[in-house]
Amino acid sequence: MQVLILGCGELVQHIAPALIGESYQVIILDEHQRCPSPTPHYPGAETVPSTGVLMEDLQRCEIDDVDAFLALSEDDNQNAMAAQIASHIFSVPKVICHVGNPSKNKAYKTLGLNVVSSTATVSENMLLYLKDLG
C-alpha cells in the first residue's frame, strides 16, 4: 500500500516509521518552509520538498497512484483543502484529515472529510482515564 503524507511535524515523525515498519510505501510531502527542521530521512520513504503550490505538489507526488492520503500538517485549513483535493479530485480511496482545533471538526466533517482531532482524542482519553480511577 502506498501512503502520501502531507506535513513534517511531530505526528508525522511518529507515524511514518510505523507505516514503514508495516511495509507501506511512504511519500512525505515536506513543507520545508513550515518545518522547524528538515524532515528526518526514513529508510524506505521518499521525501518530496514542497514548492508551496498545493495542487502542483500533490501531482508531483503522484497522488493519483496512492492508496491513502494523510493530511497531517500543522495548518488545519491546509489539511482540509488537501484532503478535499485528494478525495474529490483524485479519488484517493482512504483520506484522513488531522485537525488541531476541535471546533473545526464539525465543519470539516460536513465537507465529507474523515477528520481526526488530536485535541479531542486526548481529551476523551483523559476523561475515560479519570472515570477508571474513580
Per-residue pLDDT reduced to its tens digit, 60-94: 999 999 999 999 999 999 999 999 999 999 999 99
Does the pLDDT value for residue 102 go beyond 90?
A: no
Give this prediction's pTM. Answer: 0.88
What is the reported pLDDT for 32? 65
* Three-state DSSP state, 109: helix
Residue position matching grid coordinates 483535493: 85
Tell me how far apart the alpha carbons of residues 73 and 100 are, in angstroms, rounded to a whole number: 10
Dihedral class, residue 108 (left if φ above 0, else alpha if ψ from -120 to 50, else beta): alpha
The superfamily CATH assigns to domain 2-133 is NAD(P)-binding Rossmann-like Domain (3.40.50.720)
Who wins on pLDDT, 41 or 99? 99
pLDDT of residue 5: 96
Distance CA 79, CA 81 (A): 5
